[in-house]
Structure 1
Amino acid sequence: MKKRMVVFVIFFLVILTSVSACTGEDEKIAGPTGNPEENDEVRQASGGPYKEALVYVNNKDSNNLQVIHPTTHEVVRNIDVGEKPTYNEISPKGNNVYVVNSKSEDVSIIDAKTAEVIKTIPVGKTPKGINFTPDGKWVYVVNEGDNTVTVIDNESMEKTSTIDVGESPHNGVASVDSSTFYVTNTGSDSISVIDTASQQVTNTIKEVEGSPHNINITPDGKTLLVTLTQTSEVGVVDIKDAEMSEVIPVGTGHHVLDVTKDGKYAYVGNIGTNFVSVIDISAEKEIKQIEVGKGPHGIIVSANGDAVYAAISGENKVTVIDRKTNEVVDNIDVDSFPFFISTLESHSLDKKRTDN
């Protein structure tokens, strides 16, 4: 009897081990590199509480999105999208990457886990900027050619409405609490304020002079930072007072800017120069110029805050800047005319997530 019991236990353990091994192998399959051994690292853009996240750069003249590994700095996947992709953003939970294709006037939605385009949504004329509300509910695509914003329900991946804004709108950003979305109107020197509950413009911040182009918000939700392409400055907009209170001189032809998680610094891509500007936000001044190459445009602070990635449009590369030293530590070759770059937002890593 004892021998039978021992045999049964051994048999049960063998079966259990086999099942566990199979389950573990299945879990290692997903990931943009296709390499099971790297899966724990490459899954990080799909919702896990990781310290690093995959980096996505869209190449305007190659009609593709390239995925960069955050540790090896290697391009691990090329994904074909629409014509002339200009901007891209990853959803707050890391599930999907949305790519705006300006010439084909649509948005490619990519599953971050499989690195495949799962849907294409037509939007307005000459779409440019795109952004999510932090709660992940809404996606806003700014249509420069017809002065509108297309609203997409992120869960259903369907268009829900179109909102009229100012002249030649370019990009937008949501408030920290997801209640409001701000859109820069380059042609009318203003910022449209959209209520996300009603999906209507409820206010317009005027006299944002200098052709407001790209925009970001400080982590405390109190200040908008706006690139002013005509005057080569960054405008500081007080949200409570709804007015631009200060301007900070930077490089010429600047476009994209990102803010560090602690709200202390902003990095600005100056596409008309060869350097990235570092701004001390509280001091309201540029404190350093980091030489990166010809035409820095897209720029993003890594999710863990250790690095800054800049898309260098004129040299077909992505430059990696060490945040502690503000020095260039690597250059990554990419395809033609890298325009914008994104990664999982650092605030998304503050919350424990179990979904993929």
Structure 2
Amino acid sequence: MFAVLLGTPDVSAQSKSGRSYYVYVCAESDDEVALVRFGPSGTEILKRISVGSFPAENEGPHGINISPDGRYWYVSLAHGMPFGSVHKYETGTDQWVADVTLGMFPATLDIAASTGLMYIVNFNLHGLMEPSTVSVVETQSMTEIAQVETGVMPHGARLSHDGRWLYTVSMMNDKLVELNALTFEVSRQLDLGNPVGNGRVGMESVEVAGLVQPTWVSRPTPQGKVYVAGNASNEIFEVDLDTWMITRQFEETGAGPYNLDVTPDGRILVVTYKKDAAVGFWDLETGDELGRITTLRTVPHGVAITTDGRYAFVTIEGVGGEPGGLEIYDIETRERVGDVEVGKQAGGVAFWKMEP
């Protein structure tokens, strides 16, 4: 059971913890990244950083993440001509450092603290329905050192805490994929849906399902689980990493669960419902949805939870020419406690730091 809170007003514009929290937010249609602070004085944009190399073209900043030591941020420019790229910036100064060209439509990314290697899914949004790859990048030199074939339209890359395993989903053939992050080999795949047919791609036959259309997978929890958003099937899968089996399916979700994140203790799941303009909060012990809040704008996209587990930062794409948004939610009370307008089609969001 859950309480549906429609149009919940902002109950506070300030951080109740007394801390300030900093996040970077992508605006895909504006080729812009915003640095936002949420703290005792409210929510404010500290800086807007233009990204990309071709001012006359929309290059589409899509995925963003912070290096484990907090010194750099990395953003994928997905559109490309034809290949996309990832760019490295210094946090604080937000000065460009380097870039690397990757595959078709590089999207989400994560960086291993143990090795410094970065893993980026090449989503191949506009290409044929054929298996695509995960790029592996050495971040000091910004050199691509490997591409690993995974599935059709890979998305939602997240590493285990020890940096040994990368988890991603293949959106158009309904698979959860585990990649050995040290040997660059696919170790396990899990079917999430039943195939509806085979799609011919050149001389090869590729099994294409698309019943589930998974879009994101969570980082592994302390309890040894990952959670997968089934965007087309309107459900969330719980997968046990020891048995590599689906242990629960949360079916009473909002329409189009898209992105999700779990609190550091593995107790609460926060998920964006892209087609329902809402954010859901799930108790992972009981399997109950604790609350669902309607967002101020339509098309919620990304979610990032702070390292202290207190707040969830949610990006809102908006539609047409309207601005995107960033909304902040208190996870314990499930109330919206801040929001700010950002650039158009806000998507990728990455938590940087908190002070003090």
> How far apart are the structure 2 equivalents of 1:268 and 1:211?
16
Tell me the residue number matched to 1:259.
262
Name segments (4+ residues, structure 1) moved above 3 Å: 50-53
Distance in 1 of aligned mates of 2:277 and 2:110: 27
- Residue identity in the other structure for 2:185: Q
2:327 maps to amino acid:
T
Q: Which structure 1 residue ranges, 5 or more long, are not aligned?
A: 1-49, 350-356
Alignment of 1:1-356 (within 5 A): 52-71=20-39, 72-82=42-52, 83-104=59-80, 105-135=84-114, 137-145=116-124, 147-207=132-192, 210-220=212-222, 222-249=224-251, 250-293=253-296, 294-314=298-318, 316-344=324-352
Q: Tell me the alpha carbon deviations over residues 246-297 of structure 1, each in whole angstroms, 9 at most, x when there is no partner.
A: 2113211221111112211011011111210101111123221012221111
Aligned residues of 2:325 and 2:343 also touching (Cα < 8 A): yes
Instruction: State how many pairs are aligned.
Output: 298
Contact 1:92 1:345 survives alignment (8 Å): no
Residue aligned with 2:169, SS:
strand
CA contact (8 A) 2:20 2:37 kept: no
- 1:342 maps to a residue whose letter is A
Between the aligned partners of 1:63 and 1:160, the Cα distance in structure 2 is 27
Change in Cα spacing, 1:218 to 1:200, as seen in structure 2 (3 Å) is closer
CA displacement 1:183-230 (0-9 Å, x = unmatched): 211111112221122111122222356122111124316111111111
Q: Secondary structure at the match of 1:217?
A: coil
The letter of the residue matching 1:132 is: I
Q: Distance in 2 between matches of 1:208 and 1:242?
A: 15
Structure 1 or 2: more helix by fraction? 1
Shift in CA distance, 227/345, structure 1 to aligned 2, threshold 3 Å: farther
Counterpart of 2:329, as a letter, is I
Q: Deviations over 1:80-131 (max 9, x none)?
A: 1231111111111111111111102111211113112211211110112111
Preserved CA contact (<8 Å) 1:59 1:337: yes
- What letter matches 1:143 in structure 2? N
Say if 2:222 and 2:265, in contact at 8 Å, map to a contact too.
Answer: no
Distance (whole Å) between structure 2 residues aligned to residue 156 and residue 233 of structure 1: 40
In structure 2, distance between residues paired with 1:158 and 1:140: 12
- Return the offset for 1:133: 2.3
Question: Do the aligned residues in 1 keep the contact of 2:271 with 2:281 (CA within 8 Å)?
Answer: yes
Do 2:23 and 2:353's aligned partners in 1 also have CA atoms closer than 8 Å? no
Q: How big is the shift at 1:303?
A: 2.9
Say which SS state the counterpart of residue 104 (structure 2) adopts.
coil
Conservation of the 8 A alpha-carbon contact between 1:89 and 1:98 = yes
- Report SS of the residue matched to 1:74: strand
Gaps of 5+ in 2: 1-17, 53-58, 125-130, 195-211
* 1:143-202 CA-partner distances (Å, limit 9, x unpaired): 011610100112332211110111111121112221111121111111222112211112
Higher RCO (C-alpha under 8 Å, 6+ residues apart): 2
The structure-2 alpha-carbon separation of the partners of 1:119 and 1:150, relative to structure 1 and needing over 3 Å to count, comes to same
Q: CA–CA distance in 1 between the matches of 2:156 and 2:353?
A: 17
How far apart, CA to CA, are the structure 2 residues paired with 1:211 and 1:114? 39
Alpha-carbon distance in structure 2 between the residues aligned to 1:231 and 1:98: 32
CA RMSD of aligned residues (A): 2.0
**What is the CA–CA distance in structure 1 between the aligned matches of 2:168 and 2:353, rounded to whole Å?**
20
Aligned residues with identical type, % of pairs: 21
> Computing the radius of gyration over CA atoms, which structure comes out larger, 1 or 2?
1
What amino acid maps onto 2:49 in structure 1?
A: I
Q: In the superposition, relative to structure 1, how do residues 86 and 221 fare at CA in structure 2: closer, same or farther (>3 Å)?
A: farther
Report the AA paired with residue 73 of structure 1.
Answer: T
